Amino acid sequence: MTDLLEPRAMGQDLVRRDGELKVRGTATYAYETPVEHPAYAHPVQATIARGRVTAMDTAAAEALDGVLAVLTPFDAERLASTEDAEYAVLQGPDVGFRGQLIGVVVAETSELARQAADAVVVSYDQQPHDAELSADRPDLYAPDQVNAGHETDTAEGDVAAAMAAAEVTLERTYSTAMYHNNPLEPHATTALWEPAGDGFLTLWDSTQGVHPDRAAVCQVFGLDQEQVRVVCPYVGGGFGSKGLPHANVMLAALAARALPGRPVKLALTRQQMFSLAGYRTPTIQRMQLAADHRGRLSAIAIDVVEQTSKVKEFAEQTGVPTRMMYASPSRRSTHRLAALDVPIPSWMRAPGECPGMFGPEVAMDELAEELGIDPIELRVRNEPDVDPETGKPWSSRNLVRCLREGAERFGWSGPRAHRDGDWLVGTGVASSVYPTMRQATSTANVRYEGGRYVAEIGAADLGTGAWTILPQITADALGVDVADVDVRIGDTRYPVASVAGGSSGTNTWGSALVVAAREFRTKFGADPRDGDEASGDVDQAGQDDTHSPYAFGAQFVEARVNADTGEIRVPRLLGVFGVGRVINPRTARSQLIGGMTMGLSMALHENSAWDPAVGQVANHDLAEYHITVNADVGAIEAHWIDEHDPYVNAMGSKGIGEIGIVGTAAAVVNAVHAATGVRVRHLPVTLDKLLTALP
């Protein structure tokens, strides 16, 4: 048990502290850093999916007036570490995927840099590539572990025996598409090497964590931490793609090293982001459920097939939520990968849980239909008393409350389908889940300065609200008015902080701030002097290992399908979540509705159309990679239950950045099925999948 803070500032509906800058457009993002006399870099990308660069003719590019540098794999400096193959930019002639970085041009203007990059003539020794995922490939392999250190396979009991003996069984295959994070701010860096001494590098980089970013750059360039500063006060969205640096950051630093003393700006184009900034792997999920006639599960199993890049392995932990979501004596989960000549997949909002709650939550709806049981009731009947995977009691598990309260608010009772003129109307439900995580490393300073309290921590605000809520936490930990607290984040000059990822930012940084604030009060009492300062580490905060901490939720969807055209509309989306204590209801609601809307987008719109013949995403821009727009959304409501969890951290918070996208797509599919009778098991739900079955 941790000592929960008394909420005074926490829980207040405070307007964003960075709001005025953002509505004026004066918050400075990485590319926008005002620097003296910048130069502009533009990458050269491979136009084959596999092979070797045999020559690069840079003469025409270098002949252009105003071109300052052209770097290729044949002349770029050797990096200190090439251990991470993604970061080993321009270190060799091999091409592992189409779009890989093979050069960079630096010039006086961005127009010129782009023209010069186009003027570089590249010769290749092209090899046949292999870029098509399927579940029956003979070369699928089991990775050593999957993302976040989870086991690749788990098994308990005997799924096959349970399937053979069960009154009702369900075996289905589901798939999710390839998705690209596509934050509105393209990945961008302004890089500056000081010419004097051993070199000092400043990166104004768009990142979800200045400290992890710096650590990666230091390793690649063989620098000490003291030689690198990373600054990022504002991030134009990331959704995981800026959680780890990608190759563009190393290319920007490499390009700037060619021009010491000159700041160099490099922003990926939207098109380049589709091969260089990570993406969510497509997944193929084979589900098995076994149950008795009352719906009690005797087996649940998920076998996942997905892809990774031959250049670098990333294994999405899609099977993980099935391990703990419902009670069942027999359970199995497996992950198999195809290593292909494709760009490198990475984190995208709720890796694992987001795709991994699609198959299972549609399968539960299918089982409910088969049994003639209400899908909420089916979930209630399979509610586990303890975490089935670890055997530990839950820190708090309020899935049933979320389902019940959601049903009440949404108006779930009664028939799930009706016809309204030309429109077939249906409702659907699915569960959400996300683990409550806290990272091992983060330090905060609290200082009394000019009559105000100042907290410093190298954290990040991607729009999540950290600028606003970290002062709320600090104020309560100090026992002062939130108006008397300033928090400084987004710079490696402030103490080390973990990545804004895994919905762990508030839990981690907040814990460090609470330790620092309490230390400050212990040392200096209620009447500090100017300059008094204390620091605190997250590892000094109490940690409960005896409970299983998760956030849960329930999402409800009304879908309308036009009986003639198959057009799909979602006029209502409603979620109820158990996410611990909400620090700021305004920013929390925005995160939850944002996640739910991105889930709606996944259900109906998003699909990176992969062309295996050339090895690239065919629809690699925002005109053709559709994301939900304003006119696509109707009423979207996010609610939360009053949840008191004394086991997670001093704030009682669970993290809210990701749970909103978990389960949404399944709820949409289930609603469309109720409306039309068509079960779409392969995302996205598009009208061509409905038309032939409409009345």
Partner 1 sequence: MDAEITLRVDGEAHRLTVDTRTSLLDALRERLGNTSPKKGCDHGQCGACTVLLDGDRTLTCLALAVAHDGAEITTADGLAPAGELHPVQQAFLDSDAFQCGYCTPGQVCSAVGVLAEFERGWPSHVTEDLTGRPEMTHDEVAERMSGNLCRCAAYVNITPAVQQAGGAR
Using the rule CB under 8 A, which residue among 166, 235, 301, 482 binds partner 1?
Answer: 235
Q: Is 421 in the site for partner 1 (CB under 8 A)?
A: no
Region class of 157: left (phi > 0), else alpha (psi between -120 and 50), else beta: left
Return the DSSP state at 179: B
Using the rule CB under 8 A, which residue among 8, 52, 137, 270 binds partner 1?
Answer: 270
Stretch that binds partner 1, among 153-161, 183-191, 647-655, 681-689 (CB under 8 A): 183-191
Active site residue 658: yes
Residue number with CB closer to partner 1 (313 or 632):
632
Inter-helix orientation angle 466-478/505-524, to 10° = 30
Residue number with CB closer to partner 1 (248 or 288):
248
Q: Is 562 in the site for partner 1 (CB under 8 A)?
A: no
Nearest to 286 by CA among 174, 385, 390: 174
Q: Is 622 in the site for partner 1 (CB under 8 A)?
A: yes
Stretch that binds partner 1, among 77-85, 249-257, 291-299, 585-593 (CB under 8 A): 585-593
Inter-helix orientation angle 664-676/585-604, to 10° = 50
514 three-state secondary structure: helix
**In angstroms, what is the minimal distance from the CB of 381 to partner 1?**
34
Q: Is 240 in the site for partner 1 (CB under 8 A)?
A: no
Q: Is 464 in the site for partner 1 (CB under 8 A)?
A: yes
Residue number with CB closer to partner 1 (191 or 678):
191
Handedness of CA 385, 389, 393, 394 (dihedral sign): negative
Q: Is 569 in the site for partner 1 (CB under 8 A)?
A: no
Instruction: Annotate 186-201 with DSSP letters as a single string.
Output: --EEEEEEESSTT-EE
**In angstroms, what is the minimal distance from the CB of 274 to partner 1?**
12
* Burial tier of 181 (Cβ tally within 10 Å: 0-12, 13-18, 19+): buried
Using the rule CB under 8 A, which residue among 4, 148, 614, 633 binds partner 1?
Answer: 633
Please name the amino acid found at residue 394.
Answer: W
Q: Is 593 in the site for partner 1 (CB under 8 A)?
A: yes
Q: What residues contact residue 673 under an 8 Å CB cut-off, 6+ apart? A: 365, 369, 426, 428, 679, 680
Q: Whole-angstrom Cα distance, residue 409 to residue 556? A: 10
Handedness of CA 279, 501, 359, 321 (dihedral sign): positive
Contact pattern from residue 645 through residue 674 relative to partner 1, giving x for each residue in contact according to CB under 8 A and a dash for the rest: ------------------------------
**In angstroms, what is the minimal distance from the CB of 237 to partner 1?**
4
Q: What is the 3-state secondary structure (H, E, C) of 220-266?
A: HHCCCHHHEEEECCCCCCCCCCCCCCCHHHHHHHHHHHCCCCCCEEE
Return the DSSP state at 395: S
Inter-helix orientation angle 210-221/247-257, to 10° = 60
Q: Whole-angstrom Cα distance, residue 232 to residue 285? A: 38
Q: Is 185 in the site for partner 1 (CB under 8 A)?
A: yes
Q: Which two tokens stand for residue 507?
A: 């839990």
Using the rule CB under 8 A, which residue among 186, 240, 375, 502 binds partner 1?
Answer: 186
Q: Is 513 in the site for partner 1 (CB under 8 A)?
A: no
Using the rule CB under 8 A, which residue among 3, 22, 59, 80 binds partner 1?
Answer: 22
**In angstroms, what is the minimal distance from the CB of 269 to partner 1?**
6
**In angstroms, what is the minimal distance from the CB of 263 to partner 1?**
13
Handedness of CA 583, 589, 594, 599 (dihedral sign): positive
Stretch that binds partner 1, among 89-97, 229-237, 295-303, 491-499 (CB under 8 A): 229-237
- Which of the following is catalytic: 306, 361, 389, 658? 658
Residue number with CB closer to partner 1 (344 or 466):
466
Stretch that binds partner 1, among 31-39, 384-392, 489-497, 521-529 (CB under 8 A): 31-39
Q: Is 526 in the site for partner 1 (CB under 8 A)?
A: no
Q: Is 298 in the site for partner 1 (CB under 8 A)?
A: no
Stretch that binds partner 1, among 30-38, 142-150, 291-299, 441-449 (CB under 8 A): 30-38
CB 99 within 8 A of CB 583: no
Using the rule CB under 8 A, which residue among 184, 483, 609, 613 binds partner 1?
Answer: 184
Q: Which residue has tokens 């559709």? A: 626
Interactions with partner 1, residue window 105-144 (CB under 8 A):
109-112
* Parallel, antiparallel or unpaired: strands 635-640 and 297-309: unpaired
**In angstroms, what is the minimal distance from the CB of 467 to partner 1?**
10
Q: Is 676 in the site for partner 1 (CB under 8 A)?
A: no
**In angstroms, what is the minimal distance from the CB of 65 to partner 1?**
11
Return the DSSP state at 623: T
Cα torsion for 569, 570, 572, 578, to the nearest 10°?
A: 180
Q: Is 627 in the site for partner 1 (CB under 8 A)?
A: yes
Q: Is 34 in the site for partner 1 (CB under 8 A)?
A: yes
Q: Whole-angstrom Cα distance, residue 670 to residue 430? A: 8
Q: Is 587 in the site for partner 1 (CB under 8 A)?
A: yes
Contact pattern from residue 598 through residue 617 relative to partner 1, giving x for each residue in contact according to CB under 8 A and a dash for the rest: x--x----------------
Q: Is 621 in the site for partner 1 (CB under 8 A)?
A: yes
Site size for partner 1 (CB under 8 A): 63
Question: Within a 13 Å sphere around the CA of 489, how many CA atoms are in the beta-carbon half?
Answer: 31
CB 430 within 8 A of CB 667: yes
- φ/ψ of residue 621, rounded to 5: -160, 180
- φ/ψ of residue 513, rounded to 5: -65, -40
Give the residue numbers marked as catalytic. Answer: 658
Which residues in this chain contact partner 1 in the complex, by CB under 8 A?
Answer: 15-16, 18-29, 31-32, 34, 40, 109-112, 182-186, 234-237, 239, 267, 269-270, 462-465, 586-587, 589-591, 593-598, 601, 621-623, 627-633, 635-636
